[in-house]
A and B are shown apart, each in its own frame.
Chain A
Amino acid sequence: MTPIPAGPFRPLPNIIFADDFDRGLEGWTGLIGNYEHSLDSILPGFRDLRPPMLSNASTWDTGTGGGALGTYSMKLATRARAQSLAVGIKRLTFSQACPIQVETLFTFKPEASQLRLSLADVGAIGVILDLQDDRRRVMPHLRYQNAIDGQPAGQWQFKHRTPNFRNIGDSGETVSHFHLGPDGWDDVPNGQQQLCYNEIATKQNWHYLRVGFDLASMSFTALQCNDRHFDVAALQPMTMPAMPNLWCMLNLVFFAEASADRRAFLYVDSVVMSADFGAVERSDGS
């Protein structure tokens, strides 16, 4: 049994995993677009997604900050280029189509390469699920848009419109759609939130995030960040017909996007995914 870390976590009864990055990356890896024959066949947006690394969050002025609950966290670092993306993914399958919940502690900062606040240099950080049941592939997308056009934004958003699929290669077996772009995001109703950024670029405060999703109804059940509980009734996931080879897929993704020509860092610690296996039996009345 994976131990549940200390902190604000309130998981559902069944723990799917609880990743403490003091034990390594624990199955988190980089994301790459689909390809055939050559890496040049990858859709442009997918070609240079930066992969995760283990960080002890050391800064030039105060040294090691560590993780939220230990020494290391998972760090997603973009290139020093506006709209560069860093993405970490963990790939599982589900054993029951039931309510699931993702909890984590996260913080984000730009690279402290200038002696200024840099409040608007991180564009967005986000979390995505990639799911498939017997009928549908479903991709719930959520992000916190920290800044837009160099100005602080502080807005939670979701994306439900599906980008066009494109054929990859010449076999007819591979398709791809770039769903991570900055386009197509809608505001979460009343989704404004000011997060504790602190007063210089090297002071990091960890935030609590909880996302609930029901694999039976394929709908959001919760979005909480720190003390804010957002109404998810209007939130829709990206939905498309089921695809070959993806049955019972349960992927979890975190990402960071730079809004300036400066590296954007998202740090994630102690990711807990939990489920309520009993919900199916209760709904059957058995």
Chain B
Amino acid sequence: MMRRSATAVIERNTTWSGSFATEPWEAAWAGEAVFFVRQLSSEDGASYDSLTARVQISPDGIRWVDEGHELILRGDQEMAFVRVGQFGGWLRLAGDVGDGSARVIVYLSLKE
């Protein structure tokens, strides 16, 4: 049986500054996931040193708890990722940019 898969663009051309969290995403059908955060070049000169995004899980899409994995995307990097499995029904990223801001596109690649 071929495994089903789907990639969602959960943030697109979004500017993060300070604390951030992606929109809740339902992923109960999937067994494994990879978040990619890609930095977009920005005409408004958005820049930052480093951002950390923690994987969070939830039983209901409303209340969230850290899953334990995280990614770090430095200001001079284009993209970073984090893998996660056994996450139950909901996924999101939450984190901090620190000083400055980052313009990003965020992918969530899911697979059965």
Bound CA–CA A79/B14 (angstroms): 13
Does A97 sit at the interface, judged by CB under 8 A?
Answer: no
A75 near B62: Cβ-Cβ < 8 Å: no
Does A283 sit at the interface, judged by CB under 8 A?
Answer: no
Q: Tally the A-B contacts, defined by beta carbons under 8 Å.
A: 56
Stretch at the interface among B24-32, B68-76, B77-85: B24-32
Does A58 sit at the interface, judged by CB under 8 A?
Answer: yes
Total interface residues in chain A, CB < 8 Å = 28
Bound CA–CA A91/B25 (angstroms): 23
| Chain A residues closer than 8 Å to B9, beta-carbon distance | 30, 51
Does B23 sit at the interface, judged by CB under 8 A?
Answer: yes
Residue in A closest to B43 when the chains form the complex, CB atoms? A40
A75 near B26: Cβ-Cβ < 8 Å: yes
9 shortest interchain CB distances as A-B pairs:
A60-B60, A39-B13, A55-B26, A56-B28, A24-B4, A53-B26, A113-B62, A54-B29, A58-B89
6 CB < 8 A contacts A-B: A48-B12, A51-B9, A54-B26, A60-B59, A111-B61, A112-B62
Q: A51-B8, A77-B24 are in contact. List 18 more A-B contacts (CB 8 A).
A: A23-B4, A38-B43, A39-B12, A39-B13, A40-B43, A51-B9, A53-B25, A53-B27, A54-B6, A54-B28, A56-B28, A58-B59, A59-B60, A60-B59, A60-B60, A60-B62, A111-B61, A263-B24
